[in-house]
Structure 1
Amino acid sequence: MDNDSIKGAYKRYAPVYDWVFGLVFRNGRHVAMDSLQFESGDHVLELGVGTGLSLPEYPDDVDIHVTGVDISQDMLDKAEKRIQKHGLTNCELYNMDAEALDFPDNSFDKIMVLYVLSVVPDPYKVMSEVRRVAKPGADVIFVNHFAKENPLVRRFESALSRWAAPLGFDPDFPMEPVLENVGLNVERIESVNLFGYWTMLHGRCPEE
């Protein structure tokens, strides 16, 4: 996959994304959100914010600032409408590549990476950028589909991976390299969404 194919896929998905994926991914969003203890003054980064489905779910009783990033302007246009609809004054959006974030080091207290790692050309660059912009001790949440250990399912996912570009994601994406390269202290791993087909990883950046 490359960025052009990803943008093309999500340009097609944008008009129907909420209807097709909103309910399917809702459990994962809720579990991710409930895993975090937000504190007043927190700066939160959400990579792959998409149409902004999660934005109204951030707590409104705590003074936090949420920055949403996505490479698809078509998805961000829908996210902006959601911000206006819900009157969210603590959110801002950027059209930006998650592999090359235009933020200073140590910028964010909490980072949400929802359904992103298997839809980017180089997930390890994304993980490196996450570590760079995260403050020491920051919470980092990944929710993603990872290739299953069941040999029949794994064979199907491997065959399906040849269609990764038009699908807009890689269905044959293993978890082990993520755990080895993410550079976080992993505190929680939990299956989420329909049939537990997706996984939430909650990690914390080492304190300096």
Structure 2
Amino acid sequence: MSIRTDIPDRDHPRAVLDAEGVRDAYRRWAGVYDVVFGGVSAHGRRRAVEEVNRLPGTRVLEVGVGTGLALPRYRREKRVVGVDLSREMLEKAAQRVRQEGLSQVVGLCEMDAERMAFADGSFDIAVAMFTASVVPNAKTLFAEMSRVVRPGGDLLFVNHFAAESGLRWWAERSMAPLARLLGWHPDFALSDLLDPAQVRVEAMEPCQPAGLFTLVRVRNHAAMALAA
């Protein structure tokens, strides 16, 4: 499995600067990511891929594929393309694909998820696991995923979304400055990803541990994809 890097990108200097910060962070984490984050994120990844496997359509885009922890769970009939900003993480994913013979993975691309080079409607399903809160602009990510998924397809997200009140709300905001240094935003809200007045959420499901993460599924309506 090779990693494509010769994909044209759109000129957007500020996004590139932000992306470099993300690259630097994950360059440091690549070697230990599976050990540090693999366990706590395992249930959310499993549930997201279960949803992808039951949905119609074979063309699947995994945004923020990282080291490929979720890749072995996709059914063999799916055709999965993974994108990530970190070449170091993608190299780990490519090694996993080779070692485990994951024929359902047809491509791994080094690419900015906010400015993807795929044509409109290239996929039936796009899934982003623990990615929305670490990109510079989550609504741009949502718009790009809407663009590259066909109308009537599905967008799935697994992420931590902030509490709206109570002790957890206070704790998340107290943790925010430190968490941002680690690339995680505990104060990230669902409204930071999508506009609830414009986007109909088809399903929301809390995931372990202790409902810390949430699986969100959105149907990609034609008007939404056109607006993106």
Give the TM-score taking structure 2 as reference length. 0.83
* Alignment partner of 1:168 is 2:183: yes
Match of 1:126 in 2: 141
Picking from 151, 156, 161, the partner of 2:166 is 151
Q: Report the secondary structure of 1:147's partner residue.
A: coil
Picking from 92, 103, 123, the partner of 1:89 is 103
1:183 Cα deviation (Å)? 5.5
Matches of 1:3 and 1:152, distance apart in 2: 33
- Please tell me whether the aligned partners of residues 123 and 149 of structure 2 are also in contact (alpha carbons under 8 angstroms): yes
1:2 Cα deviation (Å)? 2.5
Q: Report the secondary structure of 2:193's partner residue.
A: helix
* Alignment partner of 1:142 is 2:157: yes
Q: Report the secondary structure of 2:113's partner residue.
A: coil
Q: Report the secondary structure of 2:99's partner residue.
A: helix
1:9 Cα deviation (Å)? 1.6
- Per the alignment, do residues 16 and 182 of structure 1 end up closer, same or farther by CA in structure 2, a change over 3 Å counting? farther
Match of 1:79 in 2: 93
Where does structure 2 lack aligned partners over 5 or more consecutive residues?
1-16, 224-228
Picking from 193, 198, 218, the partner of 1:178 is 193
Match of 2:82 in 1: 68
Match of 2:21 in 1: 5
Match of 1:45 in 2: 61
- Please tell me whether the aligned partners of residues 104 and 133 of structure 1 are also in contact (alpha carbons under 8 angstroms): yes
Over residues 131-163 of structure 1, what are the superposed CA-to-partner deviations in whole Å (9 max), with x where a residue is unaligned? 111101111110001111243222222232223
- Please tell me whether the aligned partners of residues 50 and 79 of structure 1 are also in contact (alpha carbons under 8 angstroms): yes
Match of 1:28 in 2: 44
1:180 Cα deviation (Å)? 1.6
Paired residue total: 205
Matches of 2:187 and 2:98, distance apart in 1: 37
Match of 1:110 in 2: 125
Q: Report the secondary structure of 1:196's partner residue.
A: coil
Over residues 75-102 of structure 1, what are the superposed CA-to-partner deviations in whole Å (9 max), with x where a residue is unaligned? 1110010000111233210010001001
Q: Report the secondary structure of 1:148's partner residue.
A: coil
1:38 Cα deviation (Å)? 4.6
Bigger shift: 18-27 or 128-137?
Answer: 18-27
Matches of 2:60 and 2:91, distance apart in 1: 20
Q: What is the identity, as a one-letter code, of the residue corresponding to 1:51?
A: T
Q: What is the identity, as a one-letter code, of the residue corresponding to 1:21?
A: F
Q: Report the secondary structure of 2:40's partner residue.
A: coil
- Per the alignment, do residues 27 and 116 of structure 1 end up closer, same or farther by CA in structure 2, a change over 3 Å counting? same
Matches of 1:116 and 1:183, distance apart in 2: 22
| Percentage of matched positions with identical amino acids | 40
1:207 Cα deviation (Å)? 4.8
* Alignment partner of 1:100 is 2:138: no
